[in-house]
Structure 1
Amino acid sequence: MRILVLGGTRFIGSYVVSQLAQQGHELYVFHRGETNQNIPQSIHHIYGDRYKLGEYRKEFETIKPDVVLDMLPLTEEDALLVSKTFQGIAKRVVAISSADVYQTFGRLTGFESGQIVETPTSEDGPLRTKLYPFRAHFQQGNIMYDYDKILVEKAFISNSDLPATILRLPMVHGPFDRQYRPYQYLKRMIDKRPYILLDEKIANWQTCRGYVENVAHAIVLAITNEKATNRIYNVAENEAYTELQWVHYISEAYGKWSGEIIIVKEGLLQVDINPEQDLTLSSDKIRNELGFHEIVSIEKGLENTIDWELVNPLDNLNAADYDYELEDKIYQSIIK
């Protein structure tokens, strides 16, 4: 196949491009040229600004891709520009969305009020009723001010002349993850903390996760299988496990921490989410229709992630997130 990737040089995208290259597809990657993370030499680079996609239409017409993969459509405007640019050129677009479209995310973060939503959520589960979930945290002019994957999905789906596949991704971890998802616990293990404190409700909270190579595999399947046309898929690990289990997995993968995980009563630790609301997804649809399965185990994926984070430690730590003095005071109050 002839595939054009918008983005594809950073975290998840680089793994997608690598897997597609291994399958022998003809690959074009459109990006700014700022990163070439693990990009195979066999691919073709097109350097440019995605916000000026229309200026490259003639070049895209020459390539005439079978599928366009958009790794980073953040706003409705992003999606409309991609859809308009490739209409009449590409046969299909695959767009990366997120689990944050669901009502569960609104309930979890407090962005929306209402009753707890039952999980795991399937693709026809209720979506948020309020738009722009991060607008309160950003000024107008910042791309995240207008971020909303619900509008992104609608923009792609509404163009009947360019069929779309939507992939709703989980929390993704792995080498090169700039969100350093296991790090809040790994850092404490590295620092040889004798214990890690977990709020009793956070300990039982469950969310959707995925290791980057497995998530990339799901994206590749959606690109290369025409069955995915005009479909929406959740992507997530089949196993839903609690935050307590997640910390145990991290400890086992790290292998050098002999401390204790201590569950503390609600109210002693700061909790910024509603832990009564899980954020788990059902990935049955993509497994049944496209044959998706994990190609890397949970354990191996975490080992790879931690190995990378040990070599590339997070350098902009928020000191308030690692207030060991406060944690010691809480611990002392518990054991008295």
Structure 2
Amino acid sequence: MKILMIGGTRFIGAHVARCLHDAGAQITAFHRGSSANSILPQIEHVLDPGAAWPVTSFPDALMRDWDVVIHMVAMGQADAEAAVSAFAGRTARLVLVSSCDVYRAYGRLTKMEPGEPDPVPLAEDAPLRTAHYPYRGMEGELGAWAQDYEKILAEAAVRNAADWTILRLPKVYGPEDNGDLATIYGFAAAPEWRWTHGHVRNVAAAIALAATHDEARNAVFNVGEHHTPSMGERLARLPVRPVGPELPPFDFRQPLVLDTSAIRSRLGYTEIVAEVQAMRDLAEAASSPDRTDVS
């Protein structure tokens, strides 16, 4: 199986490439070449400065047939549409890595879309936000991509491909990113609040499975831990740290809890890493004076 990954060298994508490579796929990664990750196996790399976000054009070296194209970095409409157009007739399936921030519940949480909390867990047919561009105005903090970031529009564009799969990710953590579990410790003052997380190896395994599973064609899947504890429950089993920064001005009546039963029942997904232990190991490593990476 020949698979093209657009992006996919820094964090989640490196683990996806490893999963697919270990399963026997031939992987090509299209990226700028500005990052390296020891998790990456020996794969083909096509480097181009144009691989910087938004990726709206593709070099001739990629204009060949692919069994699957996985877009790890489509942030909005323009780059998603570019991929649909470029690989029309060249791939059997286009896979988009999306986010749980597409749900209206995210707008409720951030007060971008005020209203009564949406019920959780959020299944794939839960209402989406009607207010777009959730990070516009935060370019100075997040980067230029925040201006036009909108996974709702990226999803809509990808649905125009002949065959597609969309994966809505939780908050991902692992040794390479969010390894200090700031997205847990930072919400210690909201002990009842719940936010679905996922270890990078589990999330990568879910993406790799869906990208190659016939039952995932033209379907949307939530990804994340099977059970989402409250922040207080998580922190009770993690090393104690000093109180973090003040909470953001969210409406914490709204949890962000994903229903991940579809990918489990339809595709047979199961975790390869125990989430509770993985989170504890990372927290202990981050708290240790002699910090070491924990895979």
Fold conserved between structures, TM > 0.5: yes
Confirm or deny: 8 A CA contact 1:6 1:31 kept in the other structure. yes
Unaligned runs of 5+ in 2: none
Q: 2:166 aligns to what? A: 166
Q: 1:129 to 1:183 in 2, by over 3 A?
A: closer
Q: 1:229 aligns to what? A: 217
Unaligned runs of 5+ in 1: 188-196, 252-256, 262-268, 314-336
**Structure 2 residue 139 is the aligned partner of structure 1 residue 138:** yes
Q: 1:250 aligns to what? A: 238
**C-alpha distance in structure 2 between counterparts of 1:24 and 1:296, whole Å:** 21
Which of 186, 203, 214 is 1:215 aligned to?
203
What is the deviation of 1:272? 2.2
Q: 1:236 to 1:36 in 2, by over 3 A?
A: same
Q: 1:213 to 1:230 in 2, by over 3 A?
A: same
Confirm or deny: 8 A CA contact 2:184 2:234 kept in the other structure. no
Q: 1:92 to 1:297 in 2, by over 3 A?
A: same
**C-alpha distance in structure 1 between counterparts of 2:184 and 2:195, whole Å:** 16
Confirm or deny: 8 A CA contact 2:21 2:41 kept in the other structure. no
Q: 2:77 aligns to what? A: 76
Q: 2:89 aligns to what? A: 88
* CA deviation profile, 1:261-305 (whole Å, cap 9, x unmatched): 9xxxxxxx6452111101101001000111111111023321453
What is the deviation of 1:24? 1.4
**C-alpha distance in structure 2 between counterparts of 1:2 and 1:272, whole Å:** 46
Q: 2:42 aligns to what? A: 42
Q: 1:312 to 1:82 in 2, by over 3 A?
A: farther
Q: 1:71 to 1:39 in 2, by over 3 A?
A: same
Q: Using structure 2 for the length normalisation, give the TM-score.
A: 0.88
**C-alpha distance in structure 1 between counterparts of 2:37 and 2:206, whole Å:** 20
**C-alpha distance in structure 1 between counterparts of 2:285 and 2:10, whole Å:** 15
Query: Which letter does structure 1 place at the counterpart of 2:278?
Result: G
Confirm or deny: 8 A CA contact 1:12 1:216 kept in the other structure. yes
**C-alpha distance in structure 2 between counterparts of 1:224 and 1:46, whole Å:** 22
Query: Which letter does structure 2 place at the counterpart of 1:222?
Result: A
Q: 1:322 aligns to what? A: none
What is the deviation of 1:39? 4.5
Q: Whose radius of gyration is greater, 1 or 2?
A: 1
**C-alpha distance in structure 2 between counterparts of 1:205 and 1:102, whole Å:** 17
What is the deviation of 1:307? 6.0
Supply the RMSD in Å over aligned alpha carbons: 2.5
**C-alpha distance in structure 2 between counterparts of 1:164 and 1:307, whole Å:** 40
Query: Which letter does structure 2 place at the counterpart of 1:246?
Result: R
Q: 1:113 to 1:32 in 2, by over 3 A?
A: same
Q: 2:182 aligns to what? A: 183
* CA deviation profile, 1:139-159 (whole Å, cap 9, x unmatched): 7x9221111110010010123
